Amino acid sequence: MPPPIEHPCLHLHVHSGTYFVSKLQPSAPIPQSIIVSLVDSTRFLNVTRTSEETSIVGEWHTGIPVAFKPDAIWRCIKLRGPMEFSLVGVLAQLSAPLKSAGIGIFVISTWNTDYLLVNENHVELAVETLKADGWTFEE
C-alpha cells in the first residue's frame, strides 16, 4: 500500500534560494566557514563524511566558501514532516514520477523529514510532475 500522499505531513514545499552540493576528499578539512555556519546559523546545512568522501550540502548565502558557488545550482523541495518511521516507501513514491520525467535528485534525510534537491533548471518541471502525480504543494 503506498504512503498516504494526501496526509499533511507529506505535503511539499519549494524553498526559496539556491542550494549547493559539494564534494571534498575524505581527508580534506571542512572549511572553517562551514563549521561556523553549523554553529551560528539556522540555514539548511548538511555535512556527511565517509571513508570515500565528504559531502557538504546547504543553502547558498554569504559566508559559504566561494569555491562552492559553482555548485549552487540546486533548489530544495521539502516534505513537510514530521513523518513516522513506520511510514515506508515515501521516497520511492516521490522519486518515481521524477525518474519518469528524467529529473535527477539529490536527497537528504533527517529524523523528521526528507529534502529533495533538483537542478534549478528543472524545478518547475519537478513541481508540475509531482502535482500531476497527486502531490500537494504548500506555499
CATH, residue 84: 3.30.2130.10
Question: What average pLDDT does range 19-33 have in this prediction?
Answer: 94
Mean pLDDT score of the chain: 93
Q: Is the pLDDT of residue 1 over 60?
A: no
Residue 54's domain comprises: 19-72
pLDDT confidence band for 7 (50 / 70 / 90): confident
Cis bond upstream, residue 82 (ω within 30): yes
Q: Which of 1, 44, 3, 50 is nearest to 24 (CA)?
A: 50
Residue 78 shares a structural domain with residue 60: no
Residue 94 shares a structural domain with residue 58: no
Question: What average pLDDT does range 12-41 have in this prediction?
Answer: 93
Question: What average pLDDT does range 53-77 have in this prediction?
Answer: 94
Query: What percentage of the chain reaches a pLDDT higher than 90?
Result: 83
Among 46, 72, 98, where does a domain finish?
Answer: 72
Question: What average pLDDT does range 109-130 have in this prediction?
Answer: 97
In this prediction the pTM is 0.92
Residue 118 shares a structural domain with residue 61: no
Q: Is the pLDDT of residue 112 over 80?
A: yes
